Structure 1
Amino acid sequence: MGVKFVTLTGGEPTTKKDWYVIAEKLSKAGIYTNIISNGWFVEDDLVEKIKQAGIAICAISIDGVKETHDKIRKEGSFEKDLLALKKLKYHGVQTMVATTINNENIEELDEMYDIFSEIGVDFWQLQITLPMGNFLKQQTLFVEPGMIEQIIDFAYKKKEGQLEIHLTDGIGYYNKKQICMQQNTCWAGCSAGKKSVGILQNGDIVGCTSIRNEKMIEGNIRDGSLRDIWFSKDSFLWNRNFKRDDLKGLCRECKYGDMCLGGCSNSRFTLNGTIESENILCSYNYKLVQARKYINKLDEEQLLQLFTILIEKNEYQIAKMVYDRIKNINGNHVIEMCEKYLQVNTDCKENNNE
């Protein structure tokens, strides 16, 4: 199958008695093996097992500064987790902090960055709170669409720092600062069932371990081999056959839709119940939504001026919104606008690489 990376996670993976046996077999097979822990059981004996198993990176989940993290996790968790990171660093294990950003801890990112940098943490993975699991009961913690830009701005500001920040699949997309952070590479669609696969605690095989839906279970490791399931022409069709026309809302209209395919499938699924839904937590989607609100407030003369400016700046998608708005107000200007539009560029798709 050519597996290159495996991450052991949970729950708490270290509560499985033979976790390190599995990890060692993976690492000895040349597979880059990581583990994500809550940090509570990271004592000297566990650190030794982590080293012997050949774990490449040990990640600890920390969701805020002391008060916030202990409120979300458990009293005493923050100090316990910092101690775990220090022990791992002392023994030469590469470390990562995994943080789920929510409505409360988003303003603590700078302080958290300083704490982790002082310890010498190697990597910091940022992800966003979604309506799933225990968070279903804590809706006040959900991030708002406008916060995605704030997270990207924070990560971009720190890109030259000693602590390397990684934005997960739920944070994006087609944001110039994010693309710069990712060495000028762009999001190319959800990898579930295309480049990645997950095995749940009961043996179920899924394209993404975050998406918990019976229709997206491809089989069970106890009933068939992972290889056979992976290479089956009938597996992961929900994503392997997914195309732009399956999307709804602005994602379907988006000029990046053919490549992006709506961003993270789990974000769309948990927010709206289907993977075809518009991704309201997309940075570019938020930009379009705000642009539409602004456009709807303008009179005809202001719209014509804005249209010209947008064409000059190669903002063709928003220019199309202005065009549609003027068409609804006064169709007499439509031909004039079309001529101007065609004169500058007749094919918006050529600008997908901007």
Structure 2
Amino acid sequence: MAVPLAPHVRPARPAHLVHPAEADAAVAETTDMRSRILMQFHITGRCNLRCKHCYREDGDVQPLSTDDVKNIIDQYTKLLRLYNGIHGIKRRGHINITGGEPFIREDIRDILMYLGEHRERFSYGVLSNGSFIDDGMIKVLRETGASFVQLSIDGDRETHDSLRASGDYDRVLRKAEYLEKNGIRTYISFTANRDNHKHLPKVAKECRKAGVTKLWSDRLVPIGGGSELRDIAITADNIEDYLGSLRRAKGNFLTRKIYSKTMVSSNRALQFLGTDGCPYHCSAGDTLITVDEFGNVMPCRRMPIVCGNALETSLASIYFGDDTFRTLRMEHIPKECEGCKHKSVCRGGAKCQSYAVYGDFGRRDPGCPVKI
């Protein structure tokens, strides 16, 4: 078995600059998560919505059986043990369960209970549209120790509903408030494009009213369904406008020296250029591994390079031995970034953006505005 290259560990932020919601958030983008390996697991391709910018191109497939799902979870546990041993750490892992819409599976309770049985080894969260979350599901999420449920809002009411479904904006906010009131931390994801980013401050205000734990945003990646929206993807020419919207959304979360409940994150690729966020470099293939609803293994769902199949080859063998994964773990800096003062911490920005635009994840992020 090939020995993996060591992952880059981002320097910690001074404690006085860390919002409490960020300090203990069980997600890959926070500082502590950079040194543990996360799996994003798409347990189904089925979904009751047809969002225009979704990276999925079809949505009516569910080939993985319950046993297949549990087998892949077990494989992740073995990968985690090997990863920790090689790097000399004792980290709990983390799995993000997603789809499609994960709660659409009839066996979702069984899957969540299985995840809960392994909580000493890893935490888990669910990325969902919230349609199927009810009192019974809340009970299961609490019993199994879910770290969070993530929902999505992508603009003001009119914009969001045009991208997702009529009435969905209000439904998501109601569901977020419902989850928080029942003790389930809720994150809101905002997929930003050239037109909708200006709504970020308004969405942040609504999230605070609903008591959401965290709002975070990242740029539209023009792949899958999102390729049809390539013309409104954020580019180097307009990314500073987006960063301005994000800055206004963050605002001053300290009011009378008391932290607002809702933390607005700015720790994604390139966001440190226009906000107080930490420098971030892409974790795909390093501390992130993705498995889709067919068992295909990829570095990232937004960079859909299939490197093997977990139903045929172990996750550990793919992670440690595949050439793409090994290349992504190298401390490669794009040629276009030579001379940039941020190159050692940014390393070219989001690889999925480069892959979507150029077909080459080794290129500089096409959204980078830095002049060299």
- TM-score when normalising by structure 1: 0.70
Residue number in structure 2 paired with 1:146: 240
Residue number in structure 2 paired with 1:177: 275
What is the rounded CA distance, in whole Å, between the counterparts of 1:129 and 1:168 in structure 2? 16
Residue number in structure 1 paired with 2:358: 272
- TM-score when normalising by structure 2: 0.67
Residue 96 of structure 2, aligned match among 7, 10, 14: 7
Please state whether the residue corresponding to 1:167 is helix, strand or coil.
Answer: coil
1:222 has 2:329 as partner: no
Q: What is the 5 A alignment of 1:232-247?
A: 232=321, 234=323, 236-241=325-330, 243-244=332-333, 247=334
What is the rounded CA distance, in whole Å, between the counterparts of 1:20 and 1:225 in structure 2? 25
Residue number in structure 1 paired with 2:215: 124
5+ residue gaps, structure 1: 289-317, 319-354
What is the rounded CA distance, in whole Å, between the counterparts of 1:86 and 1:257 in structure 2? 40
What is the rounded CA distance, in whole Å, between the counterparts of 2:111 and 2:103 in structure 1? 11
Matched-pair contact (CA < 8 Å) for 2:193–2:232? yes
Matched-pair contact (CA < 8 Å) for 2:269–2:282? no
Q: Which moved more, 1:140-149 or 1:261-270?
A: 140-149
What is the rounded CA distance, in whole Å, between the counterparts of 1:231 and 1:93 in structure 2? 35
Residue number in structure 1 paired with 2:41: none
Summarize the Cα distance change of 1:25–1:122 in structure 2 as closer, same or farther, 3 Å threshold. Answer: same
Please state whether the residue corresponding to 1:146 is helix, strand or coil.
Answer: helix
Please state whether the residue corresponding to 2:96 is helix, strand or coil.
Answer: strand
5+ residue gaps, structure 2: 1-79, 82-91, 255-259
Residue number in structure 2 paired with 1:23: 112
1:191 has 2:283 as partner: yes
Cα distance, 1:117 vs. partner? 0.6
Higher helix share: 1
Higher Rg of the two aligned structures: 1
Cα distance, 1:258 vs. partner? 4.0
What is the rounded CA distance, in whole Å, between the counterparts of 2:309 and 2:247 in structure 1? 41
> 1:9 is matched by which residue type in structure 2?
T
> 2:325 is matched by which residue type in structure 1?
F
Matched-pair contact (CA < 8 Å) for 2:201–2:246? no
Please state whether the residue corresponding to 1:224 is helix, strand or coil.
Answer: coil
Summarize the Cα distance change of 1:82–1:176 in structure 2 as closer, same or farther, 3 Å threshold. Answer: closer
Cα distance, 1:287 vs. partner? 3.5
User: How many residue pairs get matched?
Assistant: 273
What is the rounded CA distance, in whole Å, between the counterparts of 2:316 and 2:115 in structure 1? 16
What is the rounded CA distance, in whole Å, between the counterparts of 1:132 and 1:113 in structure 2? 27
Q: What is the 5 A alignment of 1:249-288?
A: 249=336, 251-282=337-368, 286-288=369-371
Cα distance, 1:234 vs. partner? 4.5
Cα distance, 1:156 vs. partner? 4.7
What is the rounded CA distance, in whole Å, between the counterparts of 1:139 and 1:158 in structure 2? 33
Please state whether the residue corresponding to 1:125 is helix, strand or coil.
Answer: strand
Identity among equivalent positions (%) equals 23
Cα distance, 1:124 vs. partner? 0.8
Matched-pair contact (CA < 8 Å) for 2:200–2:246? no
What is the rounded CA distance, in whole Å, between the counterparts of 2:220 and 2:148 in structure 1? 23
1:163 has 2:262 as partner: yes
Please state whether the residue corresponding to 1:149 is helix, strand or coil.
Answer: helix
Residue number in structure 2 paired with 1:113: 204
> 1:46 is matched by which residue type in structure 2?
M
Question: CA-atom RMSD, angstroms?
Answer: 2.3
Summarize the Cα distance change of 1:55–1:219 in structure 2 as closer, same or farther, 3 Å threshold. Answer: same
